[in-house]
């Protein structure tokens, strides 16, 4: 999963310099939905190194490309930074369990916005299929017969 600073939504950089064909899909989770995803499974939390308790809220920090889990256990408030890799795995696992269709072969990115975390899929179709002129065609050759 690509965890580098993602490009702007419309600034897709295809492999081909002439543009190619790029299929880009984004699944956005609001802060509330993201909290529900994190609450979804205690097993997945411990697998990804998260505290085994449910956070009180989620802070989206796009300037730091980070999501923090906030626990209001007692003053002062305790914050746990969620690694982008762990967030990506949790979002993918949730989508699979919720039967949200995901592309199998794609570059995956996580984008953090001011009001959402997004799971982004990018598929580059820069390979051009063989020319149709190279394929023999039997259309229009010879008389038509009724059966």
- Contact between residue 70 and residue 38 where contact means Cβ atoms under 8 Å apart: no
Q: Say if residue 22's pLDDT is above 70.
A: yes
Write the CA distances from 31 to 66, 70, 79, 117, 145, integer angstroms.
Answer: 12, 12, 15, 7, 65
Q: Exposure of 116 by Cβ count < 10 A (0-12 exposed, 13-18 middle, 19+ buried)?
A: middle
- Contact between residue 117 and residue 91 where contact means Cβ atoms under 8 Å apart: yes
- Contact between residue 81 and residue 68 where contact means Cβ atoms under 8 Å apart: yes
Structure confidence by residue, pLDDT tens digits, 2-20: 544 444 444 445 444 566 7
Q: Where are the domains of the chain?
A: 22-127
Write the CA distances from 142 to 104, 112, 135, 146, integer angstroms.
Answer: 44, 61, 18, 13
**pLDDT for the residue numbered 17:** 53
| Entry field: residues in the chain | 147
The overall pTM is greater than 0.75: no
Structure confidence by residue, pLDDT tens digits, 50-100: 777 888 999 999 999 999 999 887 777 788 898 888 899 899 999 999 999
Structure confidence by residue, pLDDT tens digits, 116-128: 999 999 998 877 6
Residue 47 or 69, more confident: 69
Residue 27: pLDDT band (50, 70, 90) is very high
Q: Say if residue 43's pLDDT is above 90.
A: no
Phi, psi (deg, nearest 5) at residue 113: -110, 180
């Amino acid at each position: 999963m690509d965890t580098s600073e993602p490009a702007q939504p419309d600034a897709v950089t295809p492999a081909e310099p002439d543009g190619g064909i790029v299929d880009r899909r984004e699944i956005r989770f609001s802060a509330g939905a993201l909290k529900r995803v994190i609450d979804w499974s205690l097993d997945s939390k411990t697998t990804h190194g998260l505290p085994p308790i449910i956070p009180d809220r989620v802070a989206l920090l796009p300037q730091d490309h980070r999501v923090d889990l906030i626990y209001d256990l007692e003053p002062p408030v305790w914050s746990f930074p969620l690694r982008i890799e762990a967030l990506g795995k949790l979002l993918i696992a949730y989508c699979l369990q919720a039967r949200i269709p995901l592309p199998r072969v794609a570059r995956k990115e996580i984008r953090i916005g001011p009001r959402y975390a997004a799971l982004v899929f990018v598929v580059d179709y820069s390979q051009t299929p063989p020319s149709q002129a190279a394929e023999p065609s039997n259309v229009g050759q010879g008389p038509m017969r009724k059966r």
